[in-house]
């Protein structure tokens, strides 16, 4: 009896010591290294958070791992291009074709499981643009990532059905169609703000807001994501400050002096982290209201207020005019790829509300 007791006690000590060493060593190693994470079994990108076990086909699509990727070394003395500015004076990158590696970016953002919302307004006759817009976005916009389309319209019955790729969804949001076209375009800020606060903030990490009279014609991916993102207007990338069509009346909330302003940003495309989009749309909406109270409206409506916002809230990423091209401006040598194109509008068909 006594012998058995001693034996089992000794066995107990040994077992306890073993399990302590085992738990300590492997627990610590497991925390430090992703090698033991279950996601590795599924060839998912390396990630340490527990909710990565919820694998979707989207994750499986990403076969790219940042820890084993072969690509040309970035060369400090050999910039890929020297014909364009690639960084602002406040150190934000300006995204031009040729400067980034899509595979690295895709792997990084897959790892983070990024969720992107794309807002678009198709009010009144502009619903005719939505079909080509969504169909081309499916081909070129954030392919392989999680995307929610948010279509704001006063004509929900005129929005066709779309077949979307894995990981993508579409919501139709019914909103009023303002009488004046200037209000149709300007009130977008208020509507994006309200839906951001009430909904988007729970569903996406980034928002991208693009006019509906556009088609996606080349890759547009996670290289465009940033906290505050503006796009250089295709008509002004070579222009002087004086030539920028900012609002010049000092009484207006959109006022920018002739010796101020960095770029002339287009109103047809902006983006950012969901919290930053709330701030941006709240600011521009209030600027519009302040002018309205004075019976004023800035020269280029929401575009003018957006430019004013970017003056004091400098974009953390600037997109080159590749991202908002208009063939009206031809094909200058620096624009190697036209990623998003303005559709030639039949003004009679779409603007006689």
The footprint of ligand 4GW (CB under 6 A) covers 121-126, 181, 184-185, 211-213, 268, 351, 353
Residue 262 and residue 312 in contact, taking contact as beta carbons nearer than 8 Å: no
339 is in the binding site of which of ligand 4GW, Mn ion, none (Cβ under 5 to 8 A by kind)? Answer: none
Token pair, residue 183, equals 């209000």
197 is in the binding site of which of Mn ion, ligand 4GW, none (Cβ under 5 to 8 A by kind)? Answer: none
Minimum distance from residue 43 beta carbon to Mn ion (Å): 42
Q: Which is nearer to ligand 4GW, 109 or 300 (CB)?
A: 300
181 is in the binding site of which of ligand 4GW, Mn ion, none (Cβ under 5 to 8 A by kind)? Answer: ligand 4GW
49 is in the binding site of which of ligand 4GW, Mn ion, none (Cβ under 5 to 8 A by kind)? Answer: none
Minimum distance from residue 70 beta carbon to ligand 4GW (Å): 42
Q: Which is nearer to Mn ion, 109 or 265 (CB)?
A: 265
Minimum distance from residue 129 beta carbon to ligand 4GW (Å): 7
Minimum distance from residue 184 beta carbon to ligand 4GW (Å): 5
Task: Single out the catalytic residue among 138, 223, 247, 303.
Answer: 303
Chain centre to alpha carbon of residue 288: 24
162 is in the binding site of which of Mn ion, ligand 4GW, none (Cβ under 5 to 8 A by kind)? Answer: none
Quote the CA–CA distance of 266 and 270 in Å, as a whole number. 8
Quote the CA–CA distance of 225 and 280 in Å, as a whole number. 15
Minimum distance from residue 41 beta carbon to ligand 4GW (Å): 45
Minimum distance from residue 341 beta carbon to Mn ion (Å): 11
Minimum distance from residue 38 beta carbon to ligand 4GW (Å): 44
Q: Which is nearer to ligand 4GW, 44 or 118 (CB)?
A: 118
| 266-287 b/e (C-beta count within 10 Å ≥ 16 → b) | bbbbbbbbbebbbbbbbbbbeb
Residues lying near Mn ion in the complex (CB under 5 A) are found at 211, 213, 268
Q: Which is nearer to ligand 4GW, 45 or 281 (CB)?
A: 281
Q: Which is nearer to ligand 4GW, 116 or 184 (CB)?
A: 184
Q: Which is nearer to ligand 4GW, 212 or 287 (CB)?
A: 212
Q: Which is nearer to ligand 4GW, 66 or 128 (CB)?
A: 128
256 is in the binding site of which of Mn ion, ligand 4GW, none (Cβ under 5 to 8 A by kind)? Answer: none
Q: Which burial class, exposed, middle or buried, applies to 29 when counting CB atoms under 10 A from its CB (0-12, 13-18, 19+)?
A: exposed
Verify whether residue 303 is a known catalytic residue.
yes
Q: Which residues are catalytic?
A: 303
């Amino acid at each position: 009896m006594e012998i058995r007791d001693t034996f089992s006690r000794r066995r107990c000590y040994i077992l306890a010591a073993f399990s302590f060493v085992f738990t300590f060593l492997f627990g610590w190693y497991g925390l430090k290294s992703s090698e033991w994470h279950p996601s590795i079994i599924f060839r998912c990108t390396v990630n340490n958070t527990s909710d990565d076990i919820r694998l979707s086909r989207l994750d499986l699509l990403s076969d790219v791992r940042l820890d084993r990727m072969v690509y040309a070394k970035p060369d400090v003395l050999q910039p890929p291009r020297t014909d364009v500015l690639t960084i602002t004076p406040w150190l934000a990158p300006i995204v031009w074709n040729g400067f980034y590696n899509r595979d690295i970016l895709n792997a990084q953002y897959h790892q983070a499981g990024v969720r992107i919302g794309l807002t678009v307004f198709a009010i009144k006759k502009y619903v005719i643009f939505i079909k080509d817009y969504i169909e081309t976005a499916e081909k070129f916009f954030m392919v392989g990532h999680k995307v929610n389309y948010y279509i704001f319209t006063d004509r929900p019955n005129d929005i066709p059905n779309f077949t979307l790729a894995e990981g993508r969804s579409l919501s139709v949001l019914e909103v009023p169609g303002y009488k004046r076209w200037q209000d149709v375009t300007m009130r977008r800020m208020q509507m994006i703000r309200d839906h951001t606060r009430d909904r988007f903030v729970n569903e996406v990490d980034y928002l991208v807001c693009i006019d509906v009279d556009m088609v996606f014609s080349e890759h547009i991916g996670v290289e465009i994501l940033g906290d505050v993102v503006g796009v250089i207007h295709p008509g002004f990338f070579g222009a002087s400050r004086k030539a920028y069509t900012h609002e010049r009346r000092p009484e207006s909330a959109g006022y920018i002096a002739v010796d101020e302003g960095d770029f002339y940003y287009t109103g047809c495309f902006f983006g950012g982290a969901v919290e930053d989009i709330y701030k941006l749309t709240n600011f521009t909406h209030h600027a519009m209201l302040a002018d309205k109270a004075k019976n004023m409206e800035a020269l280029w409506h929401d575009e003018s207020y957006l430019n004013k916002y970017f003056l004091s809230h400098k974009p953390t990423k600037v997109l080159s005019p590749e991202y908002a091209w208009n063939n009206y401006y031809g094909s200058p040598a620096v624009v190697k790829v036209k990623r998003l194109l303005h559709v030639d509008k039949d003004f009679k068909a779409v603007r006689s509300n």
